[in-house]
């Protein structure tokens, strides 16, 4: 028997892991001050881009001696710029515990073709042995795995006296989880995750150690213009003052500024993290009392607070194998989307079948709680109909 239809729907049914939900209260009219039709090299264009950098530093609490640049190609472009410009001076440890960081493994091993490389890839829901990393090497890792729901909790595993650089893809951690800046030499992220900004633009943050590498080491391969951070042994300082490598969308810049100003208005980084933690707790409380679902990351010590990756554990569904699990998950997702309860909560295409629900700072906890009630309702409905079809 299916329980009665939940009385409350999420006000904003946007639980996609990227692009993520816009901030509460967002309207298209918020972008009316964007200098559309103006050059990004005009005084107003450069001032907007510089303001985006300055507010990023303030909200994200980036140290004063770290450089911040706006890059093309979203987080991917920012990571690639770091890999192509910085690697090759010493050995590399590259680790992955989700789909996107596996791409960095492929780039380093198959495209840059570095010789002294240790590549370690964990299964979905697991993490590599962090104590085995060699910090005499450069170390490339993702802080938070959006497709697996796995993250590091802090930077304690990184030694202060490391010889290599730490290159951290923090795309779904920045603004939602505390980053240990003194342990990170390169940090990248995109606007469309925790702050719900528009896509196609990435951020590259460099420590003084990373800048020193750029100014004292030239890689043996050609560096594409879109990834070029230094010329003739000098950092291209203009990139870190708002003079972007290629033409940015000033509408997207205005939207990022709107998100940053919202973050500032609610109390900055601490308030953003508090919103994320409240969402993560609501999700964890529901999973704990719900017998048909479980986190992909079974160990709470490595579980993401922003990306909740879930698997179906109902024995009747699991008995049918991965195909049945995938089909059942599709039933849930399709029903919830048709009812305007939740959009785009299917698991990542390369991940095990299940659900992926964004718990970032722009999501309201009340909406997430309403979603869990509808998930229970959709599960009961889907189970009856799914097995009726099978019969």
pLDDT digits (tens, 9 = 90+) for 217-269: 999 999 999 999 999 999 999 999 999 998 999 999 999 999 999 999 999 99
> What residues does CATH 3.40.640.10 cover in the chain?
35-263
Given a contact cutoff of 8 angstroms between Cβ atoms, the answer to whether 326 and 174 are in contact is no
Taking the alpha carbons at both ends of the chain, their separation in whole angstroms is: 17
Cα–Cα distance, 262 to 239 (Å, whole number): 25
Q: Sheet harboring 201-206: ordered strands across?
A: 67-72, 201-206, 186-190, 166-169, 138-142, 92-96, 117-121
> What residues does CATH 3.90.1150.10 cover in the chain?
268-390
Can you give the pLDDT at residue 92?
Answer: 98
**pTM of this structure:** 0.95
Q: Which of 363, 360, 367, 349 minimizes the C-alpha distance to 173?
A: 360
Residue 292, pLDDT > 90, answer: yes
Can you give the pLDDT at residue 1?
Answer: 47
Q: What is the 3-state secondary structure (H, E, C) of 243-269?
A: CCCCCCCHHHHHHHHHHHHHHHHHCHH
Cα–Cα distance, 202 to 73 (Å, whole number): 6
What CATH number matches the domain at 268-390, 2.60.40.10, 3.90.1150.10, 3.30.230.10, 3.30.1240.10?
A: 3.90.1150.10
What are the backbone angles phi and psi of residue 139, rounded to the nearest 5°? -120, 125
Least confident of 166-170, 250-254, 298-302, 381-385: 381-385
Structure tokens at 99: 């789909």
Given a contact cutoff of 8 angstroms between Cβ atoms, the answer to whether 85 and 229 are in contact is yes
Q: Which CATH class is domain 35-263?
A: alpha beta
Q: For the segment 158-201, what is each residue's pLDDT rounded down to a tens digit? A: 999 999 999 999 999 999 999 999 999 999 999 999 999 998 89
Q: For the segment 7-58, what is each residue's pLDDT rounded down to a tens digit? A: 999 999 999 998 999 999 999 999 999 999 888 989 999 999 999 999 999 9
């Amino acid at each position: 028997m299916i329980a009665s239809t939940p009385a409350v729907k999420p006000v904003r049914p946007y639980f996609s892991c990227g692009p993520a939900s816009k901030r509460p209260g967002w309207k298209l009219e918020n972008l009316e001050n964007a200098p559309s039709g103006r050059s990004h090299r005009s005084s107003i264009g450069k001032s907007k881009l510089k303001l985006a950098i300055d507010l990023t530093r303030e909200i994200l609490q980036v140290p004063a001696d770290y450089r911040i640049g706006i890059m093309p190609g979203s987080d991917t472009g920012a990571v690639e710029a770091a890999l192509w410009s910085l690697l090759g001076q010493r050995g590399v440890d590259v680790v992955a515990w989700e789909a996107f960081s596996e791409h960095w493994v492929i780039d380093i091993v198959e495209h840059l073709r570095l010789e002294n490389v240790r590549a370690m890839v964990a299964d979905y829901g697991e993490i590599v042995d962090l104590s085995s990393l060699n910090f005499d090497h450069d170390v490339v890792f993702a802080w938070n795995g959006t497709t697996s729901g796995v993250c590091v909790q802090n930077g304690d595993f990184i030694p202060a006296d490391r010889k290599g650089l730490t290159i951290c893809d923090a795309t779904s951690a920045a603004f939602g989880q505390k980053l240990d800046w003194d342990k990170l030499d390169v940090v990248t992220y995109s606007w469309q995750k925790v702050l719900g900004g528009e896509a196609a633009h990435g951020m590259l943050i460099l420590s003084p150690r990373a800048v020193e590498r750029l100014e004292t080491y030239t890689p043996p391969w050609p560096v594409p213009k879109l990834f070029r951070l230094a010329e003739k042994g000098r950092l291209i300082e203009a990139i870190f003052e708002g003079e972007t490598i290629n033409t940015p969308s000033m509408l997207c810049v205005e939207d990022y500024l709107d998100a940053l100003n919202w973050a500032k208005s609610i109390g900055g980084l601490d308030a953003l993290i508090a919103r994320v933690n409240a969402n993560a707790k609501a999700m964890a409380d529901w999973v704990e009392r719900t017998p048909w679902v479980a986190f992909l990351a079974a160990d709470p010590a490595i579980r993401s607070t922003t990306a909740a990756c879930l698997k179906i554990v109902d024995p009747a569904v699991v008995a049918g194998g991965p195909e049945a699990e995938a089909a059942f998950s599709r039933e849930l997702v399709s029903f919830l989307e048709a009812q305007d309860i939740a959009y785009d909560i299917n698991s990542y295409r390369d991940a095990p079948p299940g659900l992926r629900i964004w718990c970032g700072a722009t999501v309201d906890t009340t909406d997430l709680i309403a979603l869990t009630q509808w998930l229970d309702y959709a599960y009961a409905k889907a189970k009856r109909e799914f097995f009726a079809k099978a019969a």
